[in-house]
């Protein structure tokens, strides 16, 4: 065989070996950090280490697909560098969206989505599933909807107290304003004194109105409609 033929054969062997360095396969068992894989050509790999991005961890279900890299070209050096499962892949993402999701599909899938427009959406799988938020031993359990529901669960007692306090202050200010306005009409006061009493009565009444509005704002917040009207929740 001439030199050219030998070189061509060597190049073909190198190309074939390079093609085999990256393999596609199917997960045979639920993956932890090591898994069993059957490659598309039928070859099996045991105890394949599944490499994942730092800060993110997952356990892909059996039947999903995996991309293998054969380090050094040997099967015993195989590592899993990427996994996917077409049956559970979410749909409906817009350009620029990103999503965390679990091993379910459609309306039964729990999802956390960051949107290209800056919104963050949290979707429990069903209305009875929980979103648990742990903060210094306080767990807010969100039954099927939005962040403001969990927030209201944490602040209901203090906000209810504030609403009642503002309502009481509003009543006191309004009553005082009414009283001062009435007193300003009595005899025995100079014109200047009557004017000052009337002005003070008007100010107290206005303060009562403002405090009543604040109390209503707290009450509306607890009812969940304020944040919705402001476009903060859906």
CA distance linking residue 43 with residue 21, whole number of Å: 13
Shared domain for 161 and 111, answered yes or no, is no
The burial of 228, by beta-carbon neighbours within 10 Å (0-12 exposed, 13-18 middle, 19 or more buried), is given as: middle
- The HSE-up count of residue 56 (CA atoms within 13 Å, CB side) is 9
Same domain, 94 and 164: no
94 with 74, same domain: the answer is: no
Give the residue from 112, 105, 108, 62 showing the smallest Cα distance to 87: 105
CA distance linking residue 130 with residue 172, whole number of Å: 43
What mean pLDDT comes out for the span 3-22?
A: 61
Residue 45 within any structural domain of the chain = yes
Among left, alpha and beta (phi > 0; psi -120 to 50; other), residue 188 is left
Q: What predicted TM-score, i.e. pTM, was given to this entire model?
A: 0.49
Domain assignment of residue 183, given as a range: 148-229
Q: Among the three residues 29, 57, 84, which one is the final residue of a domain in this structure?
A: 84
CA 203 to chain centre: 45
Q: Check whether residue 9 and residue 71 sit in a common domain.
A: yes
pLDDT in tens, 92-138: 899 999 999 988 766 678 888 999 999 888 888 877 787 776 654 44
The domain spanning residue 44 has which CATH number?
A: 2.40.50.140
Q: Determine the Cα angle at 203 with ends 199 and 205, to 5°.
A: 115
- Look at residue 189 and tell me if it is in a domain: yes
On whether residue 75 sits in a domain, the answer given is: yes
Overall domain count for the chain: 3
């Amino acid at each position: 065989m001439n030199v050219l033929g030998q070189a061509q054969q060597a190049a073909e062997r190198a190309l074939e070996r390079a093609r085999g360095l990256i393999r596609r396969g199917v997960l045979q068992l639920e993956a932890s950090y090591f898994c069993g894989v059957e490659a598309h050509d039928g070859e099996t790999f045991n105890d394949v280490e599944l490499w994942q991005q730092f800060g993110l961890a997952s356990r892909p279900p059996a039947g999903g697909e995996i991309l293998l890299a054969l380090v050094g070209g040997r099967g015993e050096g195989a590592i899993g560098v990427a996994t996917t499962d077409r049956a559970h892949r979410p749909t409906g993402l817009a350009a620029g969206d990103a999503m965390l999701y679990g091993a379910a599909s459609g309306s039964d899938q729990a999802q956390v989505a960051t949107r290209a427009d800056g919104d963050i959406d949290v979707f429990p799988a069903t209305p009875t599933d929980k979103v648990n938020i742990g903060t210094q031993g306080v767990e807010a359990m969100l039954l099927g909807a939005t962040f403001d529901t969990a927030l209201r669960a944490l602040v209901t007692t203090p906000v209810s107290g504030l609403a009642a306090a503002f309502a009481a202050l509003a009543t006191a200010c309004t009553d005082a304003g009414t009283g001062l306005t009435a007193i300003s009409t009595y005899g025995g006061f100079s014109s200047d004194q009557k004017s000052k009493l009337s002005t003070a009565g008007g100010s107290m009444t206005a303060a009562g109105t403002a405090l009543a509005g604040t109390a209503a704002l707290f009450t509306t917040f607890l009812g969940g409609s304020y944040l919705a009207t402001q476009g903060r929740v859906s």
